[in-house]
Structure 1
């Protein structure tokens, strides 16, 4: 769409008012009904609990000491905990003000945190700023959280309207203009504008949404929307036709969430003349969430994703209302209000206003299903037997994916509420985590994945280090994935490495894994590594037990003539900076030859 066409649409847009959010624009009616809603009862109770906690605490300060920690040590958590606590305070007092419109104290608390956020040195995180920034150029930088803050303040200003003092509303408009709108037009282009991952959707989507809510000048709004629409096209290019988010479900929630929030406002204001939801790729991406769960709240957490995910119910219900192919998730997977450690306003608000009431599915789990996602090279399966859920997921792909891990051939195995073959997911974000030392972190390097170690060598990063899918099938009785993995390594003598995985879905499911390799010349040492949260136990010769909680578990059988096992307890720092124990179960080839076949069976008991 060119500028002239978009300008014509902008000139005829419906007004930005409360009808964007509430039927007939009746805010008071919605919040009175929300107080009586059984569907929203838990959400509102959690918001009230958070307000009670905050009532006894002053506004936390973003001090110079906190700001400088990242530059000195590379640690992000200290500053970000306070930054996100301030956003949690903002969200909570907005909701409480909407729920209790006559409470003057709540409104005063809201005004104070709004003013305090307007006073922040920068809305960016220190980790996202260049090292040579200074006071004079600080407002030239736009990151995920500065963009989100602009969207948040613009939306809150519209929602509260004249209940906020004119001076405060003017200050909000001034800060959003100075920190976001003006640099977006005058100081770019920014690297994220052409990114094919979550940054394009979150940054551009937040800026476009803020502009749709705040700008009255059609020319200025057109200028921003033109750039925003271009970034959204780039974001969608990061997906194949299978709709898989290579960054994992956490970043689907994030990136595709902000894509949806922006696209909804644009569709409504343009009265359907600009409608991203009409495209086939967006329809496909919208179905990704239901395809990635492997049982309970466990997901195939490849890349920087957590093993357990809670769902944004508002986003999920909006997409289900938009597309008949999208399944409503089980209510038990609802994200509690305080669960989002980043305290993002946009999903928290839409978890309330977009929630279906009265007709939610009451199932406690997703139904059994298997999916092969060909563009991603992922196989994901969930299966139910004897009242328990079982899951299997495996991946091909390449080692230059967004939030990449060197993990070609990685697999995950779950059952009965436990993960047996694990993916560590995302570690603590630090400067080095996204720097030259990224793959020294066990959660990112192949040493922390269930893939072979060849001649002491791990997989390497880069687009050329890729897997070839030789065969894939998602069927009723069994699922299969067969991969050629030799390109994942730089081992000159290695001619081929074929990993075959067959997931049999019987009464007691089992996974059969076979690695076949060939060398051209002298063979090297070979170790099959399996990663687990469980503490492995040598049960008997040829059998290792991955114990379940209480009883049961998985028996891993192997050929004692070919490999010998080694069990090691290890530790890494998870995404929240917690020291977390995990285990490697290594099987060392006793006499590796010029060719070999290694077979392992994971049998649920």
Structure 2
């Protein structure tokens, strides 16, 4: 690794990657004159910085802006350079800049082209401090870019488990493979489970499903995504095949009569004959479809684990020839690409999830590792998979703040942490309890997420890609309760209830098998009451205030977020809130839209995902919040007491409006009166437009006397609007988009009639029961 002396002597810089020096000349590819450039796949590492905010400036050849590449800053993706703040400084050179926060005195910048055979080209790079002072500058012409005698290696290199680590893990594993659930030969267990109502219903569904043909998957359906951008035509039948296999296997294990074996063989054969196991949405250049690359995604890893679980549960009921074919295909599509990364110490295309901090890590890792543990005969062959999981798990858990918040939201806590729990269970069983991810401190903190995230009455904030009304999966809460001793007794429900939720967990056989096999009877050490007065996740800028019910009013609670606009599954929602009355989420942001091609390519063209559809202000000339890490909310102050809780968030930096001087949102709850107050105070450099929004899935009505009312069947919420006498209008809009359940949120805009230089909008919410007499 190379070291360079920076402009500040305390700062050291190193460069790694596949790097070449060259000359850029827009007039001729073969010209030897022009601007010196650096190109390839590489990383620049800044070390020994003071912790704080910096700005990274990059210069590219102008035509590079049309080439697809990615920039990663400390793990945050900034897409193509055109996604940064870009300006052309000359006809041939473009300059881009982006803010980056260094909490540990380090900044890592990774330049990766999307295509494996292309390169990223830069002319210059500079790092500036918060005040604009130059911290470090590298010019390609500088001799510091000399690579003589330097050790250069690919940017995708990582420290994979070595042979010594793998050998140690092998000694901890069982001699024979172990999967989730109990094999069919254990008749005592399966006879007992067959008596459960949820299992009986599953068997009844299996009987109906076996009369239907296997869902069709073909090239045309796969390519339909690239024509229409819709994921459902291919992903729907993909999921149905897994759902059917789960039902057939469980039904056969219960009956043990061979009645479902033909259906199982037919379904498995169809799955292993699929051309690809990945979702078309994850094969953007069709390299996997065309056989040019083998990559592992969420779907492929899940298919491997489902098939491996079927082999484990059914034992010799699956023919030897079919079993051999399943393992052969599984190796080619999933296990071998994973092993290749470990053996080469390289994160090859499509495998970067092995070291990321969001749901892809535990979902893909669990699928690959769970499959290997269930079918590979030699423990020496299984050991590399477990050793790599031990490396990958901490990266996922690092995605949680120290107080346990994940910016992915509740839906992806269910999905990501749910798969982490299943991975932990699989590894625990395969190592006879000697490798136990459940005991990791950060795993326990992450397990408490729903306890702290609940507003009141099992209602949760609709932050990030979450569907309105989403809740924690009962099977997952029970697993946490039994394995980790976390959560109230209510988390340990009756088996039919949790089993039904496991069946709905993507129809995965491994989750159903794990829940059936879960030993029950653990003593919980915590209760909901212990978290009643926990005000959310201050480390992440998430505050949750709750008021208890009394004889005259229902319970009321609110969650509000600061955060920033480069979070995992990000929405531009700094300052957003969710307000619950009783068990009705009467004010909330609209949550997720159904994924399609535009979900990532033109993400913030959607009013559901940009700030317009959230209960936050619109400023200036209709300016919405910006996208990126530096568009953030700053918690100015917070006070949490028995009778009054209040937080003030500075939203100024969330908006790219040049005339905005200051914008603060203050949220408070009065325990005595049961009222919640939202106040937005704004000041501009010159008179400008201002409005704030209220969003709801419930009927919203403006009463004409400075009051709005939002009603559910049982509750109503009155919001009294105070603008200090400034005239305002109410602008009501239905936001039609592709939301789960075809839901349509309503946005009520409180808009000043005149331009303002200084002003405020204060909305005081009071709740009551609907008079049904």
Give yes or no for TM over 0.5.
yes
Once the two structures are superposed, the pairs formed by residues 259-338 of structure 1 within 5 Å of their partners are 259-329=420-490, 331=493, 334=498, 336=500
SS of residue paired to 1:285: helix
**In structure 2, C-alpha distance between the alignment counterparts of 1:7 and 1:177, rounded to whole Å:** 21
Show the counterpart of 1:130.
Answer: 284
Residues 236-265 of structure 1: CA deviation (Å, up to 9, x unaligned) = 121111111211111111111111211222
Q: Report the CA distance shift for 1:167/1:475 in structure 2 as closer, same or farther (over 3 A).
A: farther
- Structure (1/2) with the larger strand percentage: 2
Report the Cα offset of residue 400 of structure 1: 0.3
Q: CA deviation at 1:18?
A: 6.0
Equivalent residue for 1:467, pick from 624, 633, 655:
633
What is the total number of aligned residue pairs between the two structures? Answer: 593
CA displacement, residues 405-432 of structure 1 (integer Å, 9 cap, x when unaligned):
0000000112233221122111010111
Partner of 1:271, secondary structure, is: coil
RMSD of aligned residue pairs (Cα, Å): 2.9
What is residue 556 of structure 1 aligned with on the other side?
A: 719
1:293–1:382 CA contact under 8 A, matched in 2: no
| Structure 1 match to 2:369 | 208
What is the rounded CA distance, in whole Å, between the counterparts of 1:106 and 1:589 in structure 2? Answer: 67
1:258 counterpart SS class: helix
Higher relative contact order (CA 8 A, sep 6+): 1
Find the counterpart in structure 2 of residue 480 from structure 1. Answer: 646
Q: How big is each residue's C-alpha offset from its partner over 1:207-233, in whole Å with a ceiling of 9 and x where there is no partner? A: 122222222344433333333332222
Aligned-pair CA distance for 1:494: 1.8
Contact 1:310 1:335 in 2 (8 A): no
1:34 aligns with 2:197: no
8 Å contact kept, 2:619–2:691: yes
CA–CA distance in 1 between the matches of 2:731 and 2:500? 37
Larger helix share, 1 or 2? 1
Match of 1:603 in 2: 766
Structure 1, 153-162 or 557-566: larger mean CA deviation: 557-566
Structure 2: 5+ residue stretches without partners: 1-160, 342-346, 769-773
Equivalent-residue separation in structure 1 for 2:202 and 2:645 (angstroms): 43
1:56 matched to 2:56: no
* Alpha-carbon shift at residue 473 of structure 1 (Å): 4.4
1:545 to 706, 709, 727: 709
- d(CA) in 1 for partners of 2:730 and 2:755? 17
Instruction: Calculate the TM-score normalised by the size of structure 1.
Output: 0.90
Counterpart Cα distance in 2 of 1:94 and 1:389: 46
Structure 1 pair 558–355 and aligned structure 2 pair: CA distance change class (3 A): farther
1:128 Cα shift? 0.9
Q: Do residues 586 (structure 1) and 746 (structure 2) align?
A: no
Moved more, 344-353 or 364-373: 364-373
Q: 1:93 aligns to what? A: 248
Q: Which has the larger radius of gyration?
A: 2
**Per the alignment, do residues 75 and 366 of structure 1 end up closer, same or farther by CA in structure 2, a change over 3 Å counting?**
farther
Instruction: Report what 1:147 is aligned to.
Output: 301
Q: Quick one: distance in 1 between partners of 2:453 and 2:397?
A: 19
Contact 1:90 1:113 in 2 (8 A): yes
Instruction: Indicate the larger mover: 314-323 or 488-497.
Output: 314-323
Note closer, same or farther for the CA distance 1:404–1:328 as it changes in structure 2 (3 Å cut): farther
> Is the 8 Å Cα contact of residues 287 and 293 (structure 2) preserved in structure 1?
no
2:693 equivalent to 1:529: yes
Give the Cα separation in 1 of the matches to 2:453 and 2:164.
41
1:182 Cα deviation from its structure 2 partner: 1.1
> What is the deviation of 1:19?
8.6
Q: For residue 87 of structure 2, what is the aligned residue in structure 1?
A: none
**Within 5 A, what are the aligned runs for 1:379-394?**
379-386=543-550, 389-394=555-560
Q: 1:416-473, CA deviations, whole angstroms, 9 ceiling, x for partnerless residues?
A: 33221122111010111111x1011122110010000001100011000111112234
TM-score, reference length from structure 2? 0.72
Pick the aligned partner of 1:492 from 649, 653, 658.
658
Identify which of 201, 214, 220 aligns with 1:65: 220
Find the counterpart in structure 2 of residue 412 from structure 1.
578
Q: Quickly say closer, same or farther: Cα 1:99–1:138, change in 2 above 3 A.
A: farther
Match status 1:83 vs 2:238 = yes
